[in-house]
Structure 1
Amino acid sequence: MNDITPDPVNPAYIGDFNRILKSMSARLKIQGTRPSSSEIGNQIAIRTVLLNVSSARREVTAIRAICRRFVEEGVWPEGVFEQPPITEVSREDIARLLEFVTLPVSELIEMGTWLISDITARLTQTGYPGSQEDLAQSLSGVYPNRSREASPDRQKHVPITESDLSRIDFPMMDQPHEDGVSSLATGRANVLALTRIFLRVVWLTGMRPTEVFDCVLMCGDPKREYTHAQIGLIRTNPEKAAMSGLLIPQEALDGAELIGHVRAVIDARTATRIDPVLMIRNAKTRNGNPNLVRAFRAQVLTGVPDEDLRLISLAARLHGIPLTEARKRDLISMITKHVRTTAERELADRTVQINLYALRHDFATRARRVMPMHKVAALMGHTSRGSTQGYGKTRTRQSRSGSGSGGWVPGCDETVARRLQAAFGTDTTRSAPEQGPEETAPAPE
């Protein structure tokens, strides 16, 4: 009798396997088809069409590992979502699936392409709404941030300017920003108004799109008499100050509902002389430096123009609206589509596609021109120099004078930045500044 406990399956493989099952269930719901063991293989093939090659190979590797364990043990590894069809399959079914995923990825892509074409044609005939691109994403469960696109050449990338943002925003100007928040609260989202908020706020703060739903705007409390020590803590360690109650959320300011949140925030800044702090819940908390990982990061909104503060204030109110993770993903997908298609039309001369994540990269470019790498990392929620260097225009360097062009950039949490500086070692980023884009908007008044 063999009583040796098998080694646990890599949790990442289980996550990939569950993701495939989830996307398969969504596809079968669209098709009105019953789950079966053969549909798992179909889903794998369909996903390879939209994933980049490395991601497709990783998912195939995950399927092999999970299926091999089931064939050997007769039970699914702990953590696998046991739902139809896997609750009804036999070892023979999974052995056939295991044989299927030994095919080269190129053959899986060919099969997936045919499946998407066939399913799309049948659904289109029944009046299914949406473009073929949208339908392919819905069938595969793969959306723009994981799609098969050529990696842009960051060396040639021209950062997005204020003028570029205005040109993208102009066709949507008949949709008031406030409608993005108020409509979402009623369950009938004004996606164009939300797009206008995300477009500007992601560019201003470098937040990951999903983090916009979970940020909080913190302010000084006009009712409170702050000591010099407390003011010093707020300036040097805003995250700790926010968590300890020295700062309060904009919703808690007196009269916020009556006079408007942004007016209350501006009044609080004037009364306390304390800059608002944007607290961002980090969407990514797993990386190679666990000792530096934190749940939140702080951005100090020193010198932010009032109109930009208004948009950040609106974005920070989204965290109070109950939304499922699936709903957030759907909204981000729709917003990304609006940004991409509008940019393609209004900025036809650009060779690099613009989407929400491109705005985060452009934030990194602006920040790297005015501050050292460890401070940029603190603003972006990174814990390694390599992660930060992977963002923005390649070979971007900080100006010797500490100044740069391209618009306003928030301040970082100095305490966190010092920890990162110690972890990064000697900072070698202080060299001549890189030239900015030819078209640069004037600094905000």
Structure 2
Amino acid sequence: MNLLQRRMGAIWLFAMVVLAFVIAESESLTSDEKDQIEKGLSAGKEIIGYIKEKDFAQTVKKLAESASQFLGALGPFTSFILAFVSTDSAELTYMKEMMTEIDARFSKVEARLGDIQTLIEWTNVEQSLGAIELTVATLDMEFKLFYSTSGSASEKRIHFINVYDNNYGVSGSKLYLMIVGEGGTFIENVCESIMKKTKYDRKETNDYLLGVLKILLQAIRLELSYYDIQGLKTIYETRKTEWDRRIVKVTEMFEKTDADVTNAYLKQTKEDARRFANEKRALSNLDFAVKLCDMLKEKYYWCEWFCLIYDDDIDADQHRVDVCGGHILWQESGRNIAVASKATTATRMNKNSAESVLNRFTFSYWWDILYDGTKIHEGNRKAYAVFDKMRDNIANLCSVAVVQQNADVYWHKSDTSRLAHRSLSHYWWVFAFG
């Protein structure tokens, strides 16, 4: 055997060794690991789907149930990518399609972190939300190229590591600290800032939080994938466990924020009504009542609302109002304003029974007030006589109002089944809400 033949034989042997290594790598994932990837990516797809649909309650629920499963699939997924150098198996193609679908859903979520940042007096430039969002978005594009494009495993691995090392800068941990409020004594957490920005608007607050969560999940995906690509298996497992713990805290913070913004509605509705009254002075009482009630229902959608508006120059004994879940604003920008609310799930007043009570009021020839034929007050000019009798006889009554009709009285309600009202002898308007 001449020298050339020996060299060709050595090259052939080396090629067989490399091929055997590649085949071994491609088959290095067990069926359990492949199942783990598929289930984890399915969980991630579902979580991001709820974020895309802006379903806050389901997102938080699914995050608590399945986030760990999603994170646990990231390392095996990148290993699977690197194992197939020149071709994709049917399984890998399917998994890539799942990850692509996750990215498609990510792309439809508007984070607006830079918008949130404008409200916060940061003490450190490095804690810029906009910078974190840009960093994560840039690296996320590189990750998509890593798993979706062809190329040698070593080239893809080296390129992604270099881009990550030069840009990431523990962005995920920074954002996490801002979310849970552990960034320092002088740093306001993002959740509080969002509530203030939206003036405690629950829907807007939840939408902002989902945008923040999108960025955080992308950052975690980058970080865990990086450790696996580096071959740092122990660090990968340690960081994965740590992120599992952090996700629990993020979930708890989101739930707390939702509870806080919900519980703040009573205080905030007073500010909202006053601001609305000041801005809408030119509206008639009718238009004001409709628009105020519609605004409150849209913002505080978990409640049903009743708004009563009338002139503020009425005599004291010509009106009597009491509300629950709301406020009475006397002489507010030229009007008397009463707003009341009840949770949509709360026990409701029986409207038919309430109307029956209202129909028992009559007036005598001398205008004395009668209830069930019995005089309850001499003369008709004392609102409290009707008011007290209504409050004593209507079950599940939340709010009651008696107002003289010549005060330009108008009202609006978000649920007709919760309001009973009547004109008493063209003198009083009476209302029962509950």
> Which has the larger strand fraction?
2
Which category of TM-score, normalised to the shorter sequence, fits these structures? under 0.3
The structure with more radius of gyration? 2
TM-score using structure 1 length: 0.24
TM-score (norm. length: structure 2): 0.25
Bigger share in helix: 2
